[in-house]
Amino acid sequence: MCAAGTLLRDVFGFDSFRPGQEEIVEAVVRGENVLAIMPTGGGKSLCFQLPALVRDGVTVVISPLIALMRDQVRALREAGVEAGALTSGNTDEENAAVWDAVETGRLKLLYIAPERLSSGAALGMLRRIGVGLIAVDEAHCVSQWGHDFRPDYLRIGDLRRALNVPLAAFTATADAETRDEIVNRLFDGQVPNTFLHGFDRPNIHLAFAAKDSPRRQILDFAAARKGQSGIVYCGTRAKTESIAAALGQDGHLAIHYHGGMDPEARRSAETRFQQEDGMVVVATVAFGMGIDKPDIRWVAHADLPKSIEAYYQEIGRAGRDGAPAETLTLFGPDDIRLRRSQIDEGLAPPERRVADHARLNALLGLAEALRCRRQSLLEYFGETNVSCGNCDLCDTPADVFDGTTAVRKALSAALRTGEWFGSGHLIDILLGNETDKVRERGHDTLPTFGVGQEYSRRQWQVIFRQMMGRDLLRPDPDRHGGLRMTDDALPLLKGEATIELRQDSIRKADRRPAAKTLVNEEDAPLLSALKAKRRALAEAARVPAYVIFNDRTLIEMAEKRPCSVDEMARIGGVGAKKLASYGDAFLEIINGEAEKMHPTRRKLAGREAGSLYDELLAVQADLARGPKGTDKPLSCSASLLAKVASLRPKDQASLNQLLGEKRADRFGAAFLDVLREAS
């Protein structure tokens, strides 16, 4: 792994791998078939980009969205890697540049969309350019049951067989069923070397809230995070437009996005969100896969997602750079009824509807959790050894009470009315309200009439919502949404089980929610200045800001305040090419002026050879006119000094070979003294 480790530092600017990356990189470099399930933001891309630089031949990357491919290619080129994409959106000049890199043997990564595999010419082209590895991003798109299913992904298995090269597949959202499909469709049922890494994203703060003036809740949440990039997911197209307009009136840079917009408007929205700092996009789930913006600081759901997998994938778009990120998910009884009816009225076979209800139940269980949300979320994905401290229930434990009696009263009211009515009518019965509807049906004579007056209507609404969230009552589409008792409720009705409910589910906040700051108060002004410089450089280069440096790198700069190029080189995310391109500009912001340094010396920045170079340069200065200061001036070039610092010759003969006899005679003994002290 020596070569990979060196490239990790020099090209990508990282001193060490993230958890789980190194073993995957090793397997891909060895040429094994690999399936890696890693959390969103866990560094999947590096696990095929780095092996592509180590292995011979071209690595072809199959990726689902043009925007995602173009962003990754831009980021690789900024890091000094020859990469290209062949997409339908390319100009003739872009295609020519890709083919020139192929013909001259410079290209290491070629990105293509799966749809290109339907062309008969694609296989011939890939054979001709010498593909050594296939990497499949978002591999769950091969699953016909997934909401991101792409039919052309089914051709990838044929491509692997035709080229007879190893395949590495990556995804963040694969349950056991989807994993089996990936193995069957991409690897012909032969189980590859599989890496299932934790689904936890500890930098993301999890929070849910019951709907209570939901638009105001979203606006308050965004107001506390003004200037940070965020996404608001909505259940309807109309809501995306109205909330985006409201955010704009509140002074946010906000746009909407949904599937009903024409393609050009959608592309424009995607480009603006990727490239502009502090942008908020209000969108349906049509916006999402392929969004690889690492500095999204928050994600809010104005409506409940459709499943726990969808929730995990959507919140996973926040904080991909590893810096703190926040989420807020709003939910209410109407959300629950809508999601249930979508499943029941869909065209999926019965067994699929059962599975979809189970996935929704898992999400509702998370929404109504009484204790740590992260534990609830990760238990669904099979992880039990979980620590948190970064969710709303760890911040402020839920106020719970024994709800057994209340639930039994509600179940009794539903049963005694034939399970034909919704919560509004049942609450009227429990409160003893003699409405026309209650009297007409004779429900004022039921034993349950008026037995629930210890709670207000608002409290009963919370109780019914929690019962639906726990799947004790389920809206029945055949009964026009009437609440029907499930089998899970029977033990409670019979007195064989008890249940705790939340007392405080709907409690209006006294103040706007506070944002978690990215840095402490002392470093905040510097971080703002660094972001302003990044924005200016990005606009000049017409690339997204994070392609210059992501938030996490700027945060580390603000906290560590590097004073020199050497110290800047040790900041995570500052590789050799980015140091050369942007190091001076950011050092000027931090220190007022950049350190002037010979380009050859700059290439050694952050390495031990760099400090050796400095010592050799100082010794050379002392001996430039000989030991007595009277000889003819003599010096070594910067490249010669760099060779001495990097190769560390052990004796005078080796120095003679490197420097030539005249220079070795003048500087050899002193240089060897420096090298011995460093060893």
For residue 189, pLDDT beyond 60: yes
Contact 470, 364 (CB under 8 A): yes
Q: Are strands 500-502 and 400-402 parallel, antiparallel or unpaired?
A: antiparallel
221-231: average pLDDT? 92
**In the chain, how many H helices and how many E strands?**
31, 18
| Whole-number percent of the chain with pLDDT over 90 | 35
Confidence of residue 674 (pLDDT cuts 50, 70, 90): confident
- Looking at the chain, the domain(s) classified CATH 3.40.50.300 span 2-196, 204-331
Q: In terms of pLDDT, which residue wins out, 612 or 85?
A: 85
Q: DSSP characters for 162-206?
A: HHT--EEEEES---HHHHHHHHHHHHTT---EEEE-----TTEEB
Two tokens, residue 344: 């029941």
State the fold for domain 400-502: Arc Repressor Mutant, subunit A (1.10.10)
> Based on the number of CB atoms within 10 Å of its own CB, is 496 exposed (0-12), middle (13-18) or buried (19 or more)?
exposed
Put simply, whether the predicted model's pTM sits higher than 0.75 gets the answer no
Determine whether domain 608-678 maps to CATH 1.10.150.
yes
Q: What is the pLDDT of residue 510?
A: 37
For residue 506, pLDDT beyond 50: no
Buried b (16+ CB within 10 A) or exposed e, 133-143: bbbbbbbbbbb
What is the C-alpha to C-alpha distance for residues 216 and 224, in angstroms, rounded to an integer?
A: 12
Determine whether domain 204-331 maps to CATH 3.40.50.300.
yes
Q: What is the pLDDT of residue 504?
A: 64
Across the chain, mean pLDDT equals: 86
**533 residue type, one letter:** K
160-188: average pLDDT? 88
Write out pLDDT tens, residues 342-359: 888 777 788 778 888 888
* CATH code of domain 524-596: 1.10.150.80
406-425: average pLDDT? 93
Q: What is the pLDDT of residue 138?
A: 87
Write out pLDDT tens, residues 277-306: 889 999 998 786 556 788 899 999 999 998
For residue 595, pLDDT beyond 60: no
Q: What is the pLDDT of residue 145?
A: 62
Determine whether domain 2-196 maps to CATH 2.40.37.10.
no
114-128: average pLDDT? 83
For residue 507, pLDDT beyond 50: no
Two tokens, residue 302: 């104005």
Q: In terms of pLDDT, which residue wins out, 664 or 2?
A: 664
Two tokens, residue 335: 């959300």
- Looking at the chain, the domain(s) classified CATH 1.10.150.80 span 524-596
3 state DSSP class of 131: strand
State residue 209 phi and psi, 5-degree precision: -150, 140
- Locate the DSSP E strands across 493-562: 500-502
CB atoms within 10 A of CB 394: 17
Q: What is the pLDDT of residue 54?
A: 93
Short-list 453, 435, 515, 612, CA closest to 229 = 515
Which among 99-103, 230-234, 659-663 has the top mean pLDDT? 230-234
- Looking at the chain, the domain(s) classified CATH 1.10.10.10 span 400-502
Write out pLDDT tens, residues 307-341: 888 898 899 889 988 889 999 999 988 888 888 88
Q: Which of 238-252, 526-540, 619-633 has the lowest mean pLDDT?
A: 619-633
